[in-house]
Amino acid sequence: MNPDTLLDGLDAQQRVAAEALLGPVCILAGAGTGKTRAITHRIAYGVASGAYAPNRVMALTFTNRAAAELRGRLRQLGAAGVAARTFHAAALSQLNFFWPQVVGGQLPSVLDGKGRVLGHAAERLGLKVDTATLRDVAAEVEWRKVSGLTVEQYAATVADRTIPGTLTADQLVLMLQTYEDLKDERKQIDFEDVLLVCAGMIEIEPAVAMQVREQYRFFVVDEYQDVSPLQQQLLDLWLGGRRDVCVVGDASQTIYSFAGARSEYLLDFERAHPGATVVRLEQNYRSTPAVVNAANRLMRGRAGALTLHSAAAAAADTGAVDAEEPGTIPAPTSHENDRDEARAVAQKIAAELAGGAKPEDIAILYRVNVQAAAIEQALGDLGISYQVRGSKRFFDLPEVRQAIMSLRAASVAVGDEPLFKSVSDVLRSLGWSQEPPETRGAVRDRWESLNAIMGLVDTMPAGTSFRTFTDELLTRQAGQHEPTLSAVTLATLHSAKGLEWESVYLVGLSEGLVPISYAKSFEQIDEERRLLYVGITRARSRLQLSWSQTGQYAGRSSVRQPSRFLAEMAPPVPVNR
């Protein structure tokens, strides 16, 4: 592939980013500005031009889904040999390789979760702790470790933390220490230990450090605003004083501070790396001017906030496209209670669907999971299919597992026939049909899952073999790269990050929900502001805002006020002169 063709189609700033192949590079990329396009083309351009050996490049991100997307895009751009992994996957791979050499034997088993061991820690200490409290203690374990604190150091700061459940500060510290003791006794490590042990091994063992640094020379870190002190420490060890690192992020999308994320690493990158190339991506290609303007108003004056510019508005100004009315975001609607709000949203969605909209192009976003119940009921009453993001994962569904196994087995023996026929024959034997079943419930849910697999056939290049298709399915399964279901998405604001829809409904925009009731300090309120910004910028064409005047809290009805952020997002009132 001609390297220069990889730069075709990039805008001016994306091209600057793609051509900055060496030395420290910081890409400040606002929502919808094509950051993934910029970094994948940058990597592919480096490989095609000979600046990078593909096996010496490591692209790092934070979720399996994002890593799978990076790998897929790099493969399409001719850079399939580049490693694209989460921090944890990269560290675990290195531990599995070096542990037998350095320590001997097999790496200790990695816990699936912390709950069971924490429960045993509570039992050993004679404490009665419920499941919700165990989850909150697990979060404290994670925060302590990613913040680089020992248990003793955590004990010195625990007075500033929110103590889970009815535990005292001393009991919490004892639980954390007992949890570590139990893991050691059982020869187990947890998710954060993977990073800690990998960092320790590189730091202590010169031979390990030399091999790791010889293997990987060029680093790209996506979503850099989410990096924790522990992840930054590991990145520094991987680099070993070298300067070929490119970081990409948006301080306005820092929404995981509670879990240890530090946007300072992004904001201070230029100071920490003198001479760094800094590129700003501010041309928003996702949203209408009205959505972009609302997002800008919400973040105006915030540290590190980028000012987004609507590509659609710019194209209209230059005559590149026909000028359209920029449109406005409808004024926020208020409702008597959560149930009325959910019904109103469901009715608007039903009207969109009747007008030809696709359900997969619509999302309802909310602050906390408990808000989903009323919405599910309202959508169900109108017969609207929906999926709750963050519930059971697609590739973990029994019908999906069965379908993949059946497809794989059939692909071994099938002859030369069209891919559609091969796949549809197998899925029909499992209950799929071209027309959806009339009923709702488990039968319809199963059909939706099989139909999503069938829909992947249309995304494959012409001439794709049955075997190649099942290879792609297995790759997606390993990376939890889920296909799109034909259903309205319900999701928390946190789980919506990185996604986008034509039409987005932001519900429950009242004080106590957005910002959440326990956000008291300026920093906590600002995190809630950034969370709402993430929600707003998920919308491509339509954005609806709503709140309810009363709600249930602790079993009692309470009066609510509209979120303070709604007034800030409102367009300025024109002044008559």
Interatomic CA distance for residues 282 and 270, integer angstroms? 18
Cβ atoms of 295 and 307 within 8 Å: the answer is no
Provide the pLDDT for residue 319.
Answer: 47
Across 493-500, average pLDDT: 93
| Mean pLDDT, the chain, integer | 89
pLDDT surpasses 50 at 94: yes
pLDDT surpasses 90 at 296: yes
Provide the pLDDT for residue 254.
Answer: 93
Provide the pLDDT for residue 327.
Answer: 57
Provide the pLDDT for residue 311.
Answer: 81
pLDDT surpasses 90 at 312: no
Provide the pLDDT for residue 321.
Answer: 40
Instruction: Decide which of 517 and 73 is more confident.
Output: 73
Interatomic CA distance for residues 333 and 548, integer angstroms? 8
Interatomic CA distance for residues 276 and 290, integer angstroms? 34
pLDDT surpasses 60 at 484: yes
Provide the pLDDT for residue 444.
Answer: 67
pLDDT tens digits, one per residue of 26-77: 999 999 999 999 999 999 999 999 999 999 999 999 988 899 899 999 999 9
Residues in a beta bridge with 558: 551
* 68-82, 195-209, 295-309, 402-416: segment of lowest average pLDDT: 402-416
Across 328-337, average pLDDT: 90
Cβ atoms of 564 and 515 within 8 Å: the answer is yes
* 61-70, 165-174, 399-408, 469-478: segment of lowest average pLDDT: 469-478
Percent of the chain with pLDDT over 90: 67
Provide the pLDDT for residue 238.
Answer: 97
Interatomic CA distance for residues 11 and 285, integer angstroms? 11
| Highest averaged pLDDT of the listed ranges 101-105, 199-203, 311-315, 406-410 | 199-203
pLDDT tens digits, one per residue of 103-162: 988 899 999 899 999 999 999 999 998 887 898 899 999 999 999 999 999 999 998 888
Percent of the chain with pLDDT over 70: 93
Across 329-333, average pLDDT: 90
Q: Find tokens 């070993």 and name the residue.
A: 240
Interatomic CA distance for residues 430 and 65, integer angstroms? 27
CA distances from 273 to 25, 229, 249, 396, 555 (A): 9, 17, 16, 43, 53
Q: Provide the total of helices (H) and of strands (E) in the chain, helices listed first.
A: 23, 18
Instruction: Decide which of 159 and 565 is more confident.
Output: 565
CA atoms within a 13 Å half-sphere pointing along the CA-CB vector of 202 = 23
Q: How confident is the model at residue 556 (pLDDT cuts 50, 70, 90)?
A: low
CA distances from 540 to 10, 290, 344, 360, 458 (A): 20, 10, 21, 13, 23
> What residues have CB less than 8 Å from 249, skipping those under 6 apart?
27, 28, 29, 222, 223, 224, 225, 226, 263, 266
Instruction: Decide which of 331 and 395 is more confident.
Output: 331
pLDDT tens digits, one per residue of 174-228: 999 999 999 999 999 999 999 999 999 999 999 999 999 999 999 999 999 999 9
Interatomic CA distance for residues 527 and 254, integer angstroms? 7
Could you report how far apart the first and last alpha carbons of the chain are, in Å? Answer: 60
Provide the pLDDT for residue 303.
Answer: 86
pLDDT tens digits, one per residue of 419-444: 999 999 999 998 888 887 765 556 66
Give buried/exposed letters for 280-302 (b at 16+ CB in 10 A, else e).
bbebbebbbbbbbbbbbebbeee
Is this model's pTM higher than 0.85 or not? no
Provide the pLDDT for residue 3.
Answer: 84
Of 61, 400, 7, 23, nearest in space to 224 by CA:
61
